[in-house]
A = this chain, B = another copy of it.
């Protein structure tokens, strides 16, 4: 303990994998995902440039772990919101899910970008597909609950699910890609609620 406090740079980091993931988020936020390099990530975490390979193997390994972390947080966020909205109507509950979906994409821009790019990370790795599946099911349950309550029963459940997903996913990308500037300053979560009301007026 004394030794650790005395030395500014302990040889062992403590939790380097976590620090590298945080550095990855920082680097992507700053320079964009296209410019991401392992050396820059290591630099930001204050370790030698060979250190990341020790934990993640190679660049794709790092990005797969990064996407996995993102999907874990994302699924947790959706499940939490669905749990908290257990008492309200199914439409209000789906509204909350939509707000959370878009809210996550804005507050975790770097993660969100990598999460959906199959060219950057390994989507078939279970560390990614498992939490991705959880997130999907959270949305799906939201849609099914609405249909159980008689909302949007004019279309097959599958169509409603794809429509609802497209709606929140599309809004997320339009916001991230700065395409809604023409509508002035708008809060993305409020927007999610407004467009959800168009899809599910019930």
Contact = CB atoms under 8 A, between A and B. Distances in A.
Nearest to A196: B163
A163 B172 CA distance: 12
A81 to B, nearest CB: 19
Contact of A162 (B33, B160, B195): B195
**Tally of this chain's copies:** 2
A187 interface: no
Contact of A173 (B32, B154, B169, B197): B169
A9 interface: no
A165 B174 contact: yes
A160 to B, nearest CB: 5
Interface residues of A, number: 41
A155 B34 contact: no
A121 B114 CA distance: 19
Interface string A178-195: 111011000000010011
Max chain B CB contacts within 10 Å: which of A154, A177, A183?
A177
A34 B197 contact: no
A166 B195 contact: yes
A154 B201 CA distance: 8
Contacts of A87: none
Contact of A194 (B34, B119, B159, B177): B159
A27 interface: no
Given A166-B171, A171-B170, A173-B170, A159 B116 contact: no
A50 interface: no
Nearest to A161: B183
Contacts of A180: 162
A78 B198 CA distance: 23
A116 B173 contact: yes
Interface string A129-152: 000000010000000000000001
